[in-house]
Amino acid sequence: MRFLHTSITVRQMDASLAFYTEVLGLEFERRRPIPENHAEIAFVRDPESGARLELTHWEGKETVEAGEQLDHLAFEVADLDAVLKEVRARGVRVAKEPFRLAGGSGRIAFVLDPNDVWIELIEHPPRSA
C-alpha cells in the first residue's frame, strides 16, 4: 500500500487554486469535473517533496462547517478485493463498495477509520509491459 494524497473540501475552486499555487508555491497538476458526485476536483503538488493535495468542491455546498474540510486520505493498493477482505476481517467499516468513476481507469472504494475519516483505496489497472 502506498499513500497517494490528502483531499480537502474547498468553498471556491479558483480562489483555492490561486492560494495553493501562487501563495504556497505548489504546482498545478490537473482539474476535472466528477459529474456523478456533483463535484469538481483539482490536484496540486509540492515540487520538493512530491506530496499531493486534492482540492474538492461540491456543487451546491457553499458553506463548510468547522471539521468538514478534510475530505479523505488516499492509498494505492495492488488488489482492492484482497484489501477489502482483510480490512473487513479486522472489523473496518466499508463506506462505499468498489466502483469506477466515469473516465477513470481504476476501481476505488472507501473505508472509515475509527474517527470516521474517509480512506480512499485506489486500484489502478496493471501496467502493460
What is the chain written as a DSSP string?
-EEEEEEEE-S-HHHHHHIIIIIS-PEEEEEEEEGGGTEEEEEEE-TTT--EEEEEEETT-----TT--EEEEEEE-S-HHHHHHHHHHTTPEEEEEEE--TT-SSEEEEEE-TT--EEEEEEPPPPP-
CATH (one of 3.40.190.10, 3.10.180.10, 3.40.630.30, 3.20.20.60) for 1-68: 3.10.180.10
Q: Could you give the residue numbers annotated as active site? A: 120
pLDDT tens across 16-68, in order?
999 899 988 899 999 999 999 899 999 999 998 899 999 999 998 877 777 77
The CATH code of the domain at 77-129 is 3.10.180.10
- Name the pTM for this structure: 0.75
